[in-house]
Amino acid sequence: MSGPETLHVLSGVDLDIRKGEMLAIVGASGVGKSTFLHIVGGLERPTSGKVLYGSVDIFGLNNDRLAQFRNEHVGFVFQFHHLLPEFTALENVMMPALIRNAGREEAAQLASKLLTEVGLGARLHHRPGELSGGEQQRVAVARALVLNPDVVLADEPTGNLDSHTGEAVHELLQNLNKQKGTTFIIVTHNDKLAIRADRVFRMAEGKLALERS
């Protein structure tokens, strides 16, 4: 009786990402885009290969140090915002700073500043259920940026939004990229979002190919 077949989701992916660029990854569903993002962000360990942030191979770190690295250097935005429903927008955005052991006052100041920057200064004390889909995603973007990460990884960040709201989030991401110099890696099916990126890669059969630069 043979054992389970090994499924190779990614194969031979080799990519240098420039500091401060916005990079888009497109491709059909199921080709490994989300897996790639999870590996780059240290959420999943690859069976082989390395992910280097500068000179740091993040998979040379133990699980505790890897979790600390993610908290300090990587922000995540997902298609479904994953906000905590019982907490306000301000409290949701404060969470990464509190995990890093910032004081509540400092965390609140950081969160308030980011929420104001994404246009939600008047909605700080609203819970997710009191916000529109676009507003909830803006909260998620602010949460990803609150600790000034080196890179923000976004997995279909507008996939759950209507076209008008999605376009507003596209513009927000691009503006934040230009203003803050934060690196963005965005997995998307949305051509209007991809066209805003500095480089676009297409993923197929577990490999990345440059489509536009």
Answer yes or no: is pLDDT of 26 > 50: yes
Residue 32 lies in a domain: yes
> What angle in degrees, to the nearest 10, is found between the helix axes of 133-145 and 89-99?
20
Residue 8 lies in a domain: no
pLDDT band at 112 (very low <50, low <70, confident <90, very high): very high
Residue 94 lies in a domain: no
* Average pLDDT of span 201-213: 78
* Average pLDDT of span 120-129: 92
Q: Please report the pLDDT score of residue 13 as a whole number.
A: 66
* Average pLDDT of span 167-186: 85
DSSP 123: -
Q: Which two tokens stand for residue 179?
A: 């203003």
Residue 170 lies in a domain: yes
Residue 126 lies in a domain: no
| Sheet strands side by side (includes 183-187) | 74-78, 151-155, 183-187, 22-26, 199-204, 207-212
What residues are paired with 75 via a beta bridge? Answer: 152
Residue 129 lies in a domain: no
CA dist 184 → 27, 206, 207 (Å): 18, 21, 20
Residue 98 lies in a domain: no
Q: Which of 117-121, 149-153, 157-161, 174-178 has the lowest mean pLDDT?
A: 157-161
Answer yes or no: is pLDDT of 98 > 70: yes
Q: Please report the pLDDT score of residue 124 as a whole number.
A: 94
Total domains, the chain: 1
Task: Give the whole-angstrom CA distance, residue 99 versus residue 158.
Answer: 27
Range of the domain at 153: 22-84+134-140+148-212
Determine phi and psi for 185, rounding to 5 degrees: -120, 120
CB atoms inside a 10 Å sphere around CB 79: 18
Q: What is the mean pLDDT of the chain?
A: 83
Strands (E), the chain: 22-26, 52-53, 56-57, 74-78, 151-155, 183-187, 199-204, 207-212
What residues are paired with 185 via a beta bridge? Answer: 23, 153
62: domain CATH number is: 3.40.50.300
Q: Please report the pLDDT score of residue 115 as a whole number.
A: 92
Residue 117 lies in a domain: no
